[in-house]
Amino acid sequence: MSAERPVVAMLLYPGFTHLDLIGPHAVWSPWAEIHLVWRTLDPVATDSGLQVLPTTTFADCPRDVDVLFVPGGTGTTTALLDREALALTAELGATARYVTSVCTGSLVLGGAGLLDGYRAGTHWAFRELLAPLGAEAVAERVVTDRNRITGGGVTAGIDFGLTVLAELLGEERARFTQLGLEYDPAPPFDCGSPEKAGPELVAQVRGAFVGENGKMEDAVAALAAARSGA
């Protein structure tokens, strides 16, 4: 590990959301040694069809990292059912200085046994799936509990990334990066959280997630049963 240039392992998997990863990657890449990790070096398709090239494999990924990061996405179910991906996540998370995620990536951390007794965030539509995996769901954009730092849905990745960077290299470096990225959000509509959006819009968006939510529920239930020995 390096205090001056932290080592970061960012897990990839088919169907992750590219913005979950790109937000923190944009924040960290000037300052950190980043490894994009997948089983092979073949391109990994995100849930929007964009393809990302891994930089290292499961076998070759450094085991001694400062930050383990897992993105979320509609492919989270695939990651939850991937024993090799969960095993690597558990291995890296056991020694990483910071164990982190954005969106439903926290479910993968939970599935790997890394959130037992920790407060954690995730996308608002999937918060109820954290408890069966041992975590306490928190409705905050970035949740810090000891060395676990988890972000809410998708766009929380930049807020999350800056929070982690401040932990790693200090607030001054994080402030420099925020200004360099001109991160000064001013959304055109004040409906970016269920509390602000109103029940009708929340119901519409939740309905769009019904199919994926059901798949994740099944995967989480299977993992929870395995954890309890059922």
For the annotated catalytic residues, the residue numbers are 103
Q: Under a CB-based contact definition with an 8 Å cutoff, are residues 119 and 143 in contact?
A: yes
Q: Under a CB-based contact definition with an 8 Å cutoff, are residues 36 and 66 in contact?
A: no
Closest CA to 196 of 126, 128, 141, 122: 141
- Between CA 37 and CA 45, with CA 42 as vertex, the angle to 5 degrees is 80
Question: With 0-12 CB in 10 A as exposed, 13-18 as middle and 19+ as buried, what is 130?
Answer: buried
Strands (E), the chain: 7-11, 33-38, 44-45, 51-52, 56-57, 67-70, 98-102, 119-120, 136-137, 142-145, 148-151
Q: Under a CB-based contact definition with an 8 Å cutoff, are residues 113 and 82 in contact?
A: no
φ/ψ (deg, to 5) at 144: -115, 120
- Measured CA to CA, the distance from residue 139 to residue 129 in angstroms comes to 13
- Measured CA to CA, the distance from residue 186 to residue 172 in angstroms comes to 23
Q: Under a CB-based contact definition with an 8 Å cutoff, are residues 54 and 44 in contact?
A: yes
Please enumerate in sequence order all residues whose Cβ is within 8 A of that of 230, keeping only pairs 6 or more positions apart, or say none: none
